[in-house]
Amino acid sequence: MGGVLTIVLKRLGLGLFTLFIISVLIFGAVELLPGDIAEAVLGQGATKENVQAMREALGLDKAAPVRYFEWLAGAVTGNFGVSLISQSPVTEVIAPRFANTLFLASYAAVIAVPIAILLGVVVALFRDTLFDRVANVLTLTSISSPEFFLGYVLILYLGVKTGMFPSIATLNDNMTFLELLHRTFLPALTMVLVVVAHMMRMTRASIIALLASPYIEMARLKGTPGWKVIVKHALPNAWAPIINVVALNLAYLITGVVLVEVVFVYPGIGQLLVDAVTKRDFPVVQACCLIFAATFILLNLAADVGAILTNPRLRHPK
């Protein structure tokens, strides 16, 4: 157990260091944007005195390293500053949007993960058959199609032509849970189509690689049915790579949701990021990017821990 804890602490340390580097890149990218933030906020008609006062209010009169460490110290404590547009704390602006994104990602994950694993097992069981070839063609098509294209196709056929689901995923506080599921089905389905294909192919590849192992051959020679060989012998040893790919796709569901939210006008953190970039609301932009990075790193850490716990060779390295 001590070895596992040491490995987890090392992964956590590397994750924190990576997040620190990313925070430097985020702050530096905003600093390199052309134009003056104070002038952008006040508009072209602002006087020099007003611009100077705004620069002092935003702390832009300080050196960049000083402002970075002040921003980083605030971010560590959950204080990302104040939105330049709404003049509200950034955390209050982001919190409901991030909750909406987590709901959409969870909705898609609940559908995608079991379907992907089940299809991966079935396709591995019937490999090199017509079913396997058709599944590979469909998954490659899904992976190769950008999210916004799939979204518009679903809007056309399931929203506009049939009217089964709303084309725009607007939300309100008076909606019931079933209404919420119905209103957000199309953006969730768009994300499901993308991640199911990737997870299914990785599950299939992991199981097929294990089917050539000696203990699998021995199980077959003993007359064990094919489904039992995969479910009871191959699948438990394939959990490590499967957990990795599931965690990475969950990270995508949260951090790669920007295009999907824009297509369906879904009030999540991705849509908020696009609006903040358009309006040059840089504190919100920095906070959104840092939250995306932290979420991705955290889920990668969870994937590493899951792989360690499911693989004895990683738990007891020589």
Give the C-alpha separation, 190 to 266, whole Å.
Answer: 13
- Tokens found for residue 309: 């716990």
Same domain membership, residue 179 and residue 62: no
List phi, psi (to 5°) of 82: -120, 140
Lowest mean pLDDT among 47-56, 116-125, 138-147, 213-222: 47-56
Same domain membership, residue 158 and residue 122: yes
Same domain membership, residue 98 and residue 56: no
Residue at 85 is within a domain: no
* CATH number of the domain that residue 182 is part of: 1.10.3720.10
Same domain membership, residue 262 and residue 160: yes
Q: Is the pLDDT reported for residue 31 higher than 80?
A: no
Band of the pLDDT at 113, cuts 50, 70, 90? confident
Q: Is the pLDDT reported for residue 221 higher than 80?
A: no
Please state, rounded to an integer, the average pLDDT across all residues of the chain. 81
Q: Is the pLDDT reported for residue 77 higher than 70?
A: yes
Q: Which of 42, 76, 110 is the last residue of a domain?
A: 76
Residue at 124 is within a domain: yes
Band of the pLDDT at 314, cuts 50, 70, 90? low
Same domain membership, residue 65 and residue 97: no
Cβ neighbours of residue 250 closer than 8 Å, sequence gap 6 or more? 105, 109, 299
List the domain range (segments joined by +) for residue 290. 92-315
**pLDDT score for 317:** 54
Q: Which of 21, 45, 76 is the last residue of a domain?
A: 76
State the average pLDDT over residues 120-144.
Answer: 83
The total number of structural domains in the chain stands at 2
Same domain membership, residue 127 and residue 6: no
Same domain membership, residue 267 and residue 232: yes
Each residue of 240-287: pLDDT tens digit?
777 777 877 888 888 777 888 888 988 888 888 888 888 778 888 889
Residue at 248 is within a domain: yes
CB-CB contact of 285 with 273 (8 Å): yes
- Taking the whole predicted model, whether its pTM rises above 0.75 is answered as yes
Band of the pLDDT at 21, cuts 50, 70, 90? very high
Each residue of 151-193: pLDDT tens digit?
888 898 888 888 888 888 888 878 888 888 888 999 999 988 8
Q: Which of 52, 76, 100 is the last residue of a domain?
A: 76
Same domain membership, residue 63 and residue 113: no
**pLDDT score for 29:** 84
Same domain membership, residue 157 and residue 40: no
Residue at 81 is within a domain: no
CB-CB contact of 309 with 315 (8 Å): yes
Please tell me which residue, 298 or 85, carries the higher pLDDT value: 298
**pLDDT score for 36:** 62
Q: Is the pLDDT reported for residue 2 higher than 70?
A: no
Same domain membership, residue 113 and residue 47: no
Residue at 216 is within a domain: yes
Residue at 198 is within a domain: yes
Band of the pLDDT at 5, cuts 50, 70, 90? confident
Same domain membership, residue 250 and residue 170: yes
Residue at 99 is within a domain: yes
Residue at 303 is within a domain: yes
DSSP readout, 192-244?
HHHHHHHHHHHHHHHHHHHTTSHHHHHHHHTT--HHHIIIIIIHHHTHHHHHH
Give the C-alpha separation, 274 to 255, whole Å.
Answer: 13
Same domain membership, residue 165 and residue 299: yes
